[in-house]
Structure 1
């Protein structure tokens, strides 16, 4: 393992506080995770950097030599980050999974005190990685993608739930089931399905729901790697697909599924690069934008306002009568 900047920060925080438990608290990491990271760092440098005592930890002889160098590395990196931030403070880069509506950029630009907003559509894993390395200021990703990222866990990315989206059924226009208010899983086994490839973030969610069907192995017409590709198959091949409501297109019909669960959509950012005022504005803007977009999806907005208990994160942007 190469020694990286984040490793230098870990060592210097432990040295400054003289305690692994206090350092874990400041870094927002579980103590076990910080201890494991320290062990990997020590293996990389060839020996122990600290020795435990009754009152905390103190540097070893190797630590006395290396810790000042690591502290200097952190200081120099902070200067670089400050200089870069001063140069690009007017540009806010936002990532989104699957696709990015053009109106989202306009909403962010109107709400954030920045000169320019750049948006990018990329896979959830790529979005998380881009936030980790600073290529994006923030991104909205499904929770399953963040849970699978070891780098995000190490950096302890800041996160908040924007919404918990229900899993619904997409059907072609005119299908007999589109007239139902809510479907049970027992009614889904006989459909012809479009499903998601194994490397798509929605696959584990879909797999879990399929396991609840009375017939868990129905016919699959095609495997896709995008929600909108799935919707094309629903429209053109008389197929069915599971989706979040915002993953559907307007030329298909959506029907709620009883007990189908939900998918967390998270906003993630590095707390050391996004000021608190920007964080607050960003979270509020994305939630408000989500509601505005939900209004354009047949059946979905009425579902949200009729079931506010399922959308607690949106309570500050929902109509008062539904809150």
Structure 2
């Protein structure tokens, strides 16, 4: 007989259940029917796969070898089938899997919401990845379909083969301080005035962002003292308590006890991007998702009064 994937599933079920009766229940078969199929499989494999007695079933030496292979082969075949179905039909034809990898920016939420609207039957998952290079590797390797990412134009992420990148917006980074800080109400902060401050960096942030901070501080004549590397919750708590200062996206959602101000010479150095795997099921939706991301970004910007003021002043100076 030819061994099919359903036969391998049956072997796996017998191994996991530890008895023919338990496996038959899982598989929706009668025990005699399962016994007959197992006997045919054992003839195909050339020996007994399970010892059977009144205490249940346990693999023979040959059975253990087959069971080990089944544990690898069945999940791999399932994944292959799912990916083949995903690539073979448009999203509107049925459920699909969409895997998103994202940086902590304002865009993952609106983009994911829009994906649910475009593909209501899809299985959509998202993982936050602080390393942009890791995110690009996931896309290039086929482990993700869409990246909602950010980069510094002076330190761009790699563009691996098979990944296309679309710029959504470029914004400045501002300075976040406690509302009780002496500079909290200034329209613009001089970086040189922060030379004695303790600086906060989010925990796990990739090295190039620390390099960016050191670069702008070096231009202001000092080396920043990076005292704290904290998760988002603790970073905000340290800010409120005046224990340090940190860079913040201009679209940073204002919170009680925290003030976000531009610094002198701030420029659009923080670029929001969408990165697509070129053979992903999202390829037909690229233009729609890019347009949606642009609208979502500027909606967030409109909710940031300090950023709006900075944009207005920048436009006036440019004019």
TM-score when normalising by structure 2: 0.59
Which is further off, 173-182 or 248-257?
A: 248-257
Distance, in Å, in 1 between the alignment partners of 2:311 and 2:125 is: 30
Structure 1 residue 201: deviation in Å?
4.5
**Equivalent of 1:96 in 92, 97, 102:** 102
Give the gaps of 5 or more residues in structure 2: 1-80
Pair 1:192–1:256, CA change in 2 (3 A): same
Corresponding residue for 1:43?
Answer: none
* Alignment match of 1:133 (pick from 113, 120, 141): 141
Structure 1 vs Structure 2 CA RMSD: 3.5
Aligned to 2:88: 86
Q: Distance in 1 between matches of 2:293 and 2:179?
A: 30
Q: Is the 8 A contact 2:162 2:279 kept in 1?
A: no
In structure 2, do the counterparts of structure 1 residues 298 and 81 end up closer, same or farther at CA, with 3 Å as the change threshold? same
C-alpha separation in 2, matches of 1:309 and 1:161: 24
1:271 is aligned, of 264, 267, 278, to: 278
Who is 1:243 aligned against? 248
User: Partners of 1:144 and 1:202 in 2: how far apart?
Assistant: 8
SS at match of 1:202: helix
Cα deviation 1:94-142 (Å, max 9, x = unaligned): 22113676454223323x3553343332223332222112222211222
Equivalent position SS for 1:166: strand
Within-5 A mapping of 1:206-225: 206-214=213-221, 216-224=222-230
Partner SS, residue 129 of structure 1:
helix
Please, which runs of 5 or more residues in structure 1 have no aligned partner?
1-78, 311-323
Q: 1:106-121 maps to which residues of 2 (within 5 A)?
A: 106-110=113-117, 112-113=118-119, 115-116=121-122, 117-121=124-128
Structure 2 SS opposite 1:177? coil
Q: Distance in 1 between matches of 2:242 and 2:180?
A: 13
Indicate yes or no: 2:261 matched with 1:259. no
Partner of 1:163: 169
In 1, distance between residues paired with 2:151 and 2:226? 26
Q: Which residue of 1 aligns with 2:186?
A: 180
- Match of 2:183, SS? helix
* TM-score normalised by the chain length of structure 1: 0.59
Contact 2:201 2:226 in 1 (8 A): yes
Give the 4+ runs in structure 1 shifted more than 6 A.
none
Decide whether the 8 Å contact of 1:227 with 1:243 is kept in 2: no
1:205 aligns with 2:212: yes
How many residues align? The count is: 227
